[in-house]
């Protein structure tokens, strides 16, 4: 199996096992070949990294390879959030961006993301081309990988050091109603989880006059000993700090600040599905000039659909992976695009997940509403009906996996959990929408014998019936 393979969010592997300097140089040489074939060499490439171990060194190694291929690079002077990378790449009109990050994964992982010239995550066609080029280089023992010493490349003007964060902060500050934040005198706890988002959300809110408490603001390759993941169960310190300080809300971002986490004033975690729905409601009412659809991934909540319908907005469903939302943005306006895994962007912004912007927009929403998120959600549920989501992972044998693939390829079962299957969506895996409005989706992991189950129903009891049906379907 080739060493360098791209998943939904780039190439990830254990540092010093597969994620080595030799393999990084192979990957970057493959990217250089792709850029040459597409005619994007002269525009240059942005090279960035998150706080992980050896991040700056991997970035310099990439710049050396690009320089040897005659491709100028713009190397960030500190660990940089993924949305900042996308913003700066688009602002400069560059041919691509290479970002060394494993996002919310544990610290032992290294990662490489590539953005093509439009600034969003690379599509499957692009990553397949890079994989093929990398595999050819690997089979040749690394012959064909070019490299120029860093000092010589800098002397030749092929490497430029840049600090893109200030320009990005100015941009997102202009997209948020900071006057409302100041008027509300918000009390906010911000937690960048030792990641690249340090100095983003807390700086903008503090300048706006909010009373800010910031946690974990030091750079740490080990992220405090855990995964830099802003999901429920990983941000307990933030929850405790919000409750102890009686803050209006808490915000968190992951290792590369493309994902967000939101905590209500009572310490309740607000899942990304609900955040997206809340922002559909808020942005529709406060941004009348923001035309376009609401875009979500196929496994995200239909609560988002219900709120979109409430406001007469078109709903567009995409496969899993933010690259599909980014690709849609190349030819369409959107109000908001988001995924249940904690990523979103908005109207004519970067075609990439933006954690700091999501956090700031939720602070704005809290300020404008003048009440906790749970109260706003209660009012929305009165108009749309309730939605309860769930998910689970199932480890199965390779034989059972192959059998399940064959079974699902034959079509949908006539009913699940006592309700007729009305729609079988094969956009990404298999999604079954039932007559009662509930649904389940089955997706296969591309890297391990795991089947992912996504569920949504109108009540917890109905969800559990659906979960049992899903488990029976998967396990046989």
**Is residue 6 one of the residues assigned to a domain?**
no
Give the CATH number, domain containing residue 72.
Answer: 3.40.120.10
Quick check: 111 and 24 in contact, CB under 8 A? Answer: no
Same domain, 361 and 428: no
Residue 58: which residues within 8 A CB-CB, separation 6 or more?
21, 24, 49, 100, 110
Would the pLDDT of 446 be above 70? Answer: no
Q: Rounded distance, CA 253 to CA 190, Å?
A: 9
Q: Is 394 helix (H, G, I), strand (E, B) or coil?
A: strand
pLDDT of residue 40: 85
pLDDT of residue 2: 74
**Is residue 20 one of the residues assigned to a domain?**
yes
Would the pLDDT of 74 be above 80? Answer: yes
Higher pLDDT, 88 or 39: 88
Q: Rounded distance, CA 310 to CA 355, Å?
A: 26
Same domain, 205 and 236: yes
**Of the residues 384, 404, 433, which one is the last residue of a structural domain?**
384
Report the 3 state secondary structure along 97-110: EEEECCCCCCCCEE
pLDDT of residue 222: 97
Higher pLDDT, 40 or 146: 146
pLDDT of residue 4: 94
**Is residue 1 one of the residues assigned to a domain?**
no
Same domain, 127 and 255: no
Nearest to 460 by CA among 388, 378, 380, 392: 388
Same domain, 259 and 150: no
**Of the residues 384, 403, 421, which one is the last residue of a structural domain?**
384
Same domain, 195 and 337: yes
Same domain, 242 and 374: yes
**What is the rounded average pLDDT for all residues in the chain?**
96
**Is residue 2 one of the residues assigned to a domain?**
no
pLDDT of residue 297: 97
Rg (CA), the chain: 22
Would the pLDDT of 348 be above 80? Answer: yes
**Of the residues 384, 417, 448, which one is the last residue of a structural domain?**
384
Domain residue limits at 17 = 11-163
pLDDT band (50, 70, 90) for residue 76: very high
Would the pLDDT of 447 be above 70? Answer: no
Q: Rounded distance, CA 112 to CA 352, Å?
A: 15
Q: Rounded distance, CA 449 to CA 181, Å?
A: 47
Number of other residues whose CB lies within 10 A of the CB of residue 122: 24
For range 343-364, the mean pLDDT: 98
Same domain, 42 and 124: yes
For range 111-135, the mean pLDDT: 95
User: What's the domain count of the chain?
Assistant: 3
Residue whose entry in the numeric block shows the structure tokens 């319908």: 309
As given in the structure block, the two tokens for residue 144 are: 């064909």
**Is residue 3 one of the residues assigned to a domain?**
no
| Residue pLDDT, tens place only, 13-22 | 999 999 999 9
Number of other residues whose CB lies within 10 A of the CB of residue 288: 8
Same domain, 151 and 198: no
pLDDT of residue 236: 97
The predicted model scores a pTM of: 0.95
**Is residue 136 one of the residues assigned to a domain?**
yes
| Lowest mean pLDDT segment, chosen from 20-34, 88-102, 381-395, 438-452 | 438-452
Would the pLDDT of 448 be above 80? Answer: no
As given in the structure block, the two tokens for residue 71 are: 């491709």
pLDDT of residue 1: 58
Q: Rounded distance, CA 375 to CA 160, Å?
A: 49
Same domain, 271 and 393: no
Q: Rounded distance, CA 23 to CA 4, Å?
A: 8
Rounded to whole angstroms, what are the CA distances from 416 to 68, 117, 203, 426? 58, 44, 50, 17
Number of other residues whose CB lies within 10 A of the CB of residue 446: 10
Same domain, 155 and 205: no
């Amino acid at each position: 199996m080739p060493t360098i393979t791209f998943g939904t969010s780039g190439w990830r592997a254990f540092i010093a096992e597969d994620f080595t300097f030799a393999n990084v140089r192979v990957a970057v040489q493959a990217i250089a070949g792709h850029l040459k074939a597409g005619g994007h060499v002269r525009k240059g490439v942005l090279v960035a990294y998150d706080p992980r171990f050896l991040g700056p060194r991997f970035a310099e190694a990439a710049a050396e390879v690009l320089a040897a291929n005659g491709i100028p690079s713009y190397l960030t002077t500190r660990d940089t959030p993924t949305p900042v990378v996308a913003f700066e790449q688009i602002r400069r009109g560059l041919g691509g961006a290479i970002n060394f990050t494993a996002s919310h994964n544990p610290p032992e992982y290294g990662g490489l993301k590539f953005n093509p010239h439009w600034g969003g995550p690379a599509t499957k066609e692009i990553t397949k081309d890079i994989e093929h080029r990398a595999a050819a280089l690997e089979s040749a023992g690394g012959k064909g990988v070019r490299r120029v010493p860093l000092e010589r490349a800098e002397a030749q003007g092929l490497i430029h050091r840049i600090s893109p964060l200030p320009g990005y902060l100015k941009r997102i500050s202009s997209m948020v109603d900071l006057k409302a934040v100041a008027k509300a005198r918000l009390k906010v706890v911000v937690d960048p989880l030792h990641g690249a988002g340090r100095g983003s959300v807390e700086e903008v809110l503090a300048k706006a006059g909010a009373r800010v408490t910031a946690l974990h603001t030091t750079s740490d390759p080990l992220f405090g000993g855990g995964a830099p993941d802003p999901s429920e169960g990983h941000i307990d310190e933030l929850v405790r700090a919000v409750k102890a300080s009686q803050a209006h809300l808490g915000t968190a971002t992951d290792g590369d600040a493309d994902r967000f986490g939101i905590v209500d004033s009572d310490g309740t975690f607000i899942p990304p599905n609900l955040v997206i729905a809340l922002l559909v409601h808020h942005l529709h009412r406060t941004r009348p000039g923001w035309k376009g659809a609401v875009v979500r991934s196929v496994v995200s909540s239909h609560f988002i659909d219900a709120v979109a319908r409430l406001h007469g907005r078109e709903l567009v469903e995409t496969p899993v992976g933010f690259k599909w939302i980014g690709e849609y943005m190349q030819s369409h306006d959107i109000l908001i695009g988001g995924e249940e895994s904690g990523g979103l962007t908005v109207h004519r912004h970067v075609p990439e997940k933006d954690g700091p912007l999501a956090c700031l927009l939720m602070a704005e929403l809290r300020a404008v509403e003048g009440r906790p998120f749970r109260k706003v959600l209660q009012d929305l549920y009165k108009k749309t009906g309730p939605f309860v989501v769930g998910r689970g992972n199932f480890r199965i044998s390779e034989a059972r996996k192959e059998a399940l693939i064959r079974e699902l390829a034959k079509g949908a079962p006539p009913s699940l959990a006592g309700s007729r299957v009305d729609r079988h969506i094969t956009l990404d895996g298999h999604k079954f929408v039932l007559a009662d409005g509930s649904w389940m989706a089955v997706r296969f992991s591309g890297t391990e014998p795991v089947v992912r189950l996504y569920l949504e129903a109108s009540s917890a009891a109905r969800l559990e019936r659906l979960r049992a049906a899903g488990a029976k379907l998967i396990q046989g």
